[in-house]
Structure 1
Amino acid sequence: MEKQHKNIYLIKRFLPYYKKYRWILALDLFCAMLTTVCDLVLPLIIRYLTNMGMNDLQGLTIKIILSLGLFYMTLLIIDAVANYFTAYIGHVMGTRIETDMRRDLFSHFQKLSYSFYSNTKVGQLISRITTDLFDITEFAHHCPEEFFIAGLKITVAFIILGNINIWLTVIIFIGFPLMLISTSYFRKKMREAFKRARVQTGEINAQVEDNLLGIRVVKSFANEKLEEEKFGVGNRLFLKIKRESYRYMAGFQATTRIFDGLMSILVVVGGSLFMINGAINPGDFIAYLLYVTTLLASIRRIVEFAEQFQRGMTGIERFIEVMDEPPEITDAENAKELTEVVGDIAFEKVSFKYSDGIDEVLSNIDLNVTHGQNIAIVGPSGSGKSTLCHLIPRFYDVTAGRICIDGQDIKELKLHSLRSQIGMVQQDVYLFSGTIRENIMYGRPDASAEDVELAAKQAGAHDFIMKLPEQYDTYVGERGVKLSGGQKQRISIARVFLKNPPILILDEATSALDNESERIVQESLQKLTKGRTTFTIAHRLTTIRNADIILVLTDEGIVEQGSHETLIKSEGIYYDLYQMYRDLDEINEEF
């Protein structure tokens, strides 16, 4: 994702966001044009008065002076009103564009696949959707405005100055491209430094998030100082990068100031020489000086805007990098809805390996599951048990073979309809920050209060919920920290009860619980699995004795399958695993 793009490419990608607000942009630029009127008219008024005073002092009446003063006062009022609308309307437009970009980025996050999140730090993504887009408001407003005003002033000034003295004008305007060429090195280095600063900001965000989510582990090991030292390394690197960016910015500003001074000297010396030779009169010379001062002020504004411009370009570039990240799992062109699901599932010569992996995790898997069956999957760690189940909702796509639900290839089904028919209960329960009711309703956002309560009762969660201070409206805390493991698991089961899917995946749902919590959760799971096609990844083998089919999965694929009694009689791998886990359970019960 770290590719350097040219500014013109980034601006082309950014321009479509103006389309919705093109009339606001037009009004903003019109008001910006009005704000330049005073700057452009004042030198002409002074030129007129000076020439009148020197050539026809008697003709310079009080009426003319007051009329010009009133005219200029009117322009100042127009300037003030236009400036108000530019500051207000322009900033609102910039904020709306930033909001649109943040919406699109968040929406794209939802489409990206599991593999993307496996290889990307969440803190970096948070940085892209917050910090990187903060400068977009100012950039979206000021970029067209500043360049429009500068272009207008330079064009009008060139025409007026050319009419006064074309040769002096040409000499002065030659300095502008020379200044742009001289500052190009610093502009390029500023852009690179700002991007490194954004990346490091993401690293700091990721480190802070990691530390705060694991703060209980940090404190339990008394490793606060270690964490502070780790954070200090990243923080000092951020300081180093920022210092470097400001060094380039200082060089950029120093170079432009040199050219600023050179052009001022050139105007004064050159204009004086032309005035001595009679090629320019004093009134025109004063107007010339004022216009050049206005031009240099515009250039200084562009220089000051350069930092903001480079920050905006960096934000747009990092936005585009994520937006250009293609989702690996997408709907086929003629994908169909999955409806009226029976629950028959077939694996036909399925193989799978991760995109960044060399070896296959699963190879040539054949499996037929009839609706309503409970399939338990056991085997050593790393044998692909979870991966096998994650292929069903297409969290990953098979690299060979196919998976069918009710005879339909899941790749030919719409992702949303496929996943809406599958419920998952995992070992690592994730509860969103909010209330118990909101977390249960995540299974069906339009559910009634009665439906939520029924689901909680089915999951064995209603009784403990009613003992909480706010009952169903109790705040669960960040990631559900205010609840025990068993309580969180029962809420996650209630969530699936509410969803009511025909296909279930239970990924070691009880392995992290104590015996009492496991017993309660196991009872809830037995109710949940009734009448549903269920895949159970088991850690404690004593909990799957009633499974219809038990699959023993190893690096070589499915090496054994059958009922508990059949596999025990065969005295193979399952028999050995079962004996080992039973002995461990007996030891745990003794303690």
Structure 2
Amino acid sequence: MRDFFKILKRFIPPYKKQLILNFLFNLLSALFTVFSVTMMIPILDILFDQKKNVYDMMPWAMNLDAVKHNLYYYITIFKDENGAGLTLLLIGAFVIIATLLKVGFYYLGAYEAIYIRNGVVKDMREQIYQKMLKLALPFFSEERKGDIISRITGDVTEVENSIMSSLDMFLKNPIIIIVLLASMLVMSPRMTLFIFIVLPVAGYIIGRVGKSLKKVSREGQDKMGEILTVVEETLGGLRIIKAFNAEKKMNARFSSELHDYKSIMNRLMRRRELAHPLSELLGTVVIIIVVWYGGTLILSNNSELTGTEFIAYLAIFYQIINPAKAFTTALYSIQKGLASMDRIDKILYADVTIPQATDAKSVSTLKDSIEYRNVTFAYDDKVVLNNVSLTIPKGKTIALVGQSGSGKTTFVDLLPRFYDVNEGQILIDGADLRDLKLHDLRDLMGNVNQEAILFNDTIFNNIAFGVDNASMPEVIAAAKVANAHDFIIETEHGYDTVIGDRGSKLSGGQRQRLSIARAILKNPPVLILDEATSALDTESERLVQDALENLMKNRTSVVIAHRLSTVRNADLICVFHEGEIIERGTHDELIKLNGRYKHLHSMQMF
């Protein structure tokens, strides 16, 4: 329960007003519950004629005897004047009014609880998404995408269905139980103290069974993350699955995961379904014990209660049973929800490994140069860049070439701080990247990657992505520079055409030209091109290459290229090999050097 209250402490504060109103309405509902039940005592007394008529008033005082005495005085007067039948009807009307007020305040309390519940769930999903945007790329390389999706969907839903659905019970039932127990304590202290001894024993038994749910529930949520990972991989690789006739293999993998999930959920559900029968049994046992004990006291004339008062006392106690049973059911659900919350917290409490300095400086443009100074970087224990130094003057184009895995992409990923260097520094106009504001730093740069990353939105919104308040003329101008305008206007709805998941309705060259248009519209002083033409056919490559040349004019550019023909005119070409720059120079200089670049060039020419 300590973990449950920690969760409430984290997410409930914005809803203090609703919490106070919920408490007030539930308190009133509980008070009218007691009133509606105790009004049954005079009805029973009249029916069974067990109460003598009262013809004298007592001075009003803050004690139960004075209230009961004077209440029976007014009932006696009314009964003598109007008869027992009309008296019963009058008392019944009071019971109806009390019940109406009871259920009315009950609804108002639930109304406020719904606002809290849905608000907390919304806040939770919002916090997860915001944290996902803040986390550095290394976090996502270690986590499965399907598992992350499972946490923001399935786990949050599980928290909503267990912890947040139990919230109303925790806001309402304690108040009901306390008010009812207080009234029982006033009616019969001895009987109520006996109940205080019996109820905790039943609660302990149920609590012991409920604790086992948390571990099993966590296993189920982890397995659901694995299932969603398989689904995500299947949708992303459907073309390859079909091409290699691997449907049977993928189906077997998915079926295996589903079978494991079913086994886990069978164990979980069997234990959870034990909640109702167990609480029903223990509730019946407690009631029988209370009836036996109270009946023994009344029969031996050793009780503070009369027979009719004992019936009302039992009716009040019965009103406690349902909230108490709800507690037991909620305890089971909460254990399941806490397991999901643990998985959510793995994201919410993950360290932001690319932090921004508290006194970070603003930067708006590149004035002089970018310098890599003795930079070393490793993924875990694998060194990818080893003591690399390079100066990139403003307005120059630097090309990075070399075999796959030589460190080129890592080299450019360090510039926008997707990762931080292990040793050395990267400087912009003499200032360390880590001393600059992260948003300003990335605002200096535009990226065009080998795989065009587009969104299932309109062409206009994809080009204008990351640029606030972009106008249609500005977007069209960027598309024209990127050689994209002609194919865009031929689509069904022009710039309002939705391009599908990851731009699936467009060809590879069209997707790449939209990426270039997006970079042109952003108009960054520094441009990063990561093999932007390597996946295209010859005609598309020519169109994209022309667009890139338009984009690179008067701009500082870092270009990764496998096709050396695309970087012949670069101001400087750096040859990477096993995390080091082993050659650097212009195309003609490197050819004359007769080294690794000449070898790569000869292979491509051949």
Provide TM-score, normalisation by structure 1. 0.92
Find the aligned partners of 2:351 and 2:579 in 1 and give their Cα distance.
32
Report Cα offsets for 1:496-540 as digits up to 9, x if no partner. 000111111111111111111111111111111111111111111
- Residue equivalent to 1:553: 576
Tell me the CA shift for residue 216 of structure 1. Answer: 2.0
- Residue equivalent to 1:589: none
Work out the number of aligned pairs and report it: 575
* Residues 343 and 532 in structure 1, CA contact (< 8 A), matched pair in contact too: no
Q: 3-state SS of the aligned residue for 1:558?
A: strand
Q: Which residue identity does 1:55 align to in structure 2?
A: Q
Tell me the CA shift for residue 582 of structure 1. Answer: 1.6
After TM superposition, the structure 1 = structure 2 runs for residues 154-169 of structure 1, keeping only pairs within 5 Å, are 154-169=177-192
1:323 aligns with 2:348: yes
* Residues 90 and 141 in structure 1, CA contact (< 8 A), matched pair in contact too: no
Tell me the CA shift for residue 330 of structure 1. Answer: 1.6
Q: Structure 1 residues 142 and 48, CA, compared in 2 at 3 Å: closer, same or farther?
A: farther
Q: Which residue identity does 1:96 align to in structure 2?
A: G
1:12 aligns with 2:6: yes
- Residue equivalent to 1:532: 555
* Residues 198 and 286 in structure 2, CA contact (< 8 A), matched pair in contact too: yes
1:419 aligns with 2:413: no
Find the aligned partners of 2:322 and 2:220 in 1 and give their Cα distance.
30
1:266 aligns with 2:289: yes
Q: Structure 1 residues 81 and 343, CA, compared in 2 at 3 Å: closer, same or farther?
A: farther
Which of 310, 322, 328 is 1:297 aligned to? 322
Find the aligned partners of 2:365 and 2:241 in 1 and give their Cα distance.
49
- Residue equivalent to 2:140: 117
Report Cα offsets for 1:438-458 as digits up to 9, x if no partner. 111114232111111111111
Q: Which residue identity does 2:434 align to in structure 1?
A: K
Which of 531, 541, 544 is 1:508 aligned to? 531
- Residue equivalent to 1:105: 128
After TM superposition, the structure 1 = structure 2 runs for residues 481-492 of structure 1, keeping only pairs within 5 Å, are 481-492=504-515
User: Identity of aligned pairs, percent?
Assistant: 34
Tell me the CA shift for residue 160 of structure 1. Answer: 3.2
- Residue equivalent to 2:398: 375
1:401 aligns with 2:454: no
Find the aligned partners of 1:153 and 1:450 in 2 and give their Cα distance.
65
After TM superposition, the structure 1 = structure 2 runs for residues 6-45 of structure 1, keeping only pairs within 5 Å, are 7-45=1-39
Find the aligned partners of 2:428 and 2:209 in 1 and give their Cα distance.
59
* Residues 573 and 585 in structure 2, CA contact (< 8 A), matched pair in contact too: yes
Report Cα offsets for 1:407-437 as digits up to 9, x if no partner. 1111110010000111111101111001111
Task: List gaps (5 residues or longer) in structure 2.
Answer: 54-75
Find the aligned partners of 2:296 and 2:3 in 1 and give their Cα distance.
46
Q: 3-state SS of the aligned residue for 2:382?
A: coil
> C-alpha root-mean-square deviation of aligned residues, in Å?
2.0
Find the aligned partners of 1:259 and 1:10 in 2 and give their Cα distance.
24
Find the aligned partners of 1:48 and 1:433 in 2 and give their Cα distance.
70
* Residues 345 and 371 in structure 1, CA contact (< 8 A), matched pair in contact too: yes
1:208 aligns with 2:202: no
Q: 3-state SS of the aligned residue for 2:464?
A: helix
Find the aligned partners of 1:284 and 1:69 in 2 and give their Cα distance.
17
* Residues 34 and 183 in structure 2, CA contact (< 8 A), matched pair in contact too: no
After TM superposition, the structure 1 = structure 2 runs for residues 276-295 of structure 1, keeping only pairs within 5 Å, are 276-280=299-303, 281-295=306-320
Tell me the CA shift for residue 8 of structure 1. Answer: 1.6
Tell me the CA shift for residue 144 of structure 1. Answer: 4.4
Q: 3-state SS of the aligned residue for 2:39?
A: helix
Q: 3-state SS of the aligned residue for 2:371?
A: strand
Tell me the CA shift for residue 13 of structure 1. Answer: 4.1
Q: Structure 1 residues 554 and 129, CA, compared in 2 at 3 Å: closer, same or farther?
A: same
Which of 441, 447, 451 is 1:428 aligned to? 451
Tell me the CA shift for residue 142 of structure 1. Answer: 4.6
Find the aligned partners of 1:148 and 1:434 in 2 and give their Cα distance.
43
Q: 3-state SS of the aligned residue for 1:397?
A: coil
Report Cα offsets for 1:331-357 as digits up to 9, x if no partner. 111101111323511011111112xx2
Q: Which residue identity does 1:488 align to in structure 2?
A: R
Find the aligned partners of 1:370 and 1:321 in 2 and give their Cα distance.
42
- Residue equivalent to 2:415: 392
- Residue equivalent to 1:4: none
Find the aligned partners of 1:548 and 1:291 in 2 and give their Cα distance.
89
Tell me the CA shift for residue 488 of structure 1. Answer: 0.5
Q: 3-state SS of the aligned residue for 1:109?
A: helix
* Residues 542 and 582 in structure 1, CA contact (< 8 A), matched pair in contact too: no
- Residue equivalent to 1:257: 280
1:310 aligns with 2:335: yes
Q: Which residue identity does 2:341 align to in structure 1?
A: I
Return 486-495 or 248-257, whichever deviates more: 248-257
Moved over 4 A (4+): 57-60, 135-142
Q: Which residue identity does 1:109 align to in structure 2?
A: M
Q: 3-state SS of the aligned residue for 1:361?
A: strand
Which of 203, 222, 237 is 1:180 aligned to? 203
Find the aligned partners of 1:371 and 1:352 in 2 and give their Cα distance.
25
- Residue equivalent to 2:497: 474
Q: Structure 1 residues 41 and 411, CA, compared in 2 at 3 Å: closer, same or farther?
A: same
Tell me the CA shift for residue 54 of structure 1. Answer: 4.2
- Residue equivalent to 1:3: none
Q: Which residue identity does 2:316 align to in structure 1?
A: Y
Which of 169, 172, 175 is 1:149 aligned to? 172
* Residues 503 and 533 in structure 1, CA contact (< 8 A), matched pair in contact too: yes
Q: Which residue identity does 1:550 align to in structure 2?
A: I
* Residues 43 and 91 in structure 2, CA contact (< 8 A), matched pair in contact too: no
Find the aligned partners of 1:494 and 1:87 in 2 and give their Cα distance.
52
Tell me the CA shift for residue 556 of structure 1. Answer: 5.4
* Residues 172 and 266 in structure 1, CA contact (< 8 A), matched pair in contact too: no
Q: Which residue identity does 1:267 align to in structure 2?
A: V
Find the aligned partners of 1:288 and 1:77 in 2 and give their Cα distance.
21
Task: List gaps (5 residues or longer) in structure 1.
Answer: 1-6, 584-591
Q: Which residue identity does 2:265 align to in structure 1?
A: K
Find the aligned partners of 1:343 and 1:47 in 2 and give their Cα distance.
91
* Residues 200 and 238 in structure 1, CA contact (< 8 A), matched pair in contact too: yes
Q: 3-state SS of the aligned residue for 2:375?
A: strand
Find the aligned partners of 2:20 and 2:333 in 1 and give their Cα distance.
22
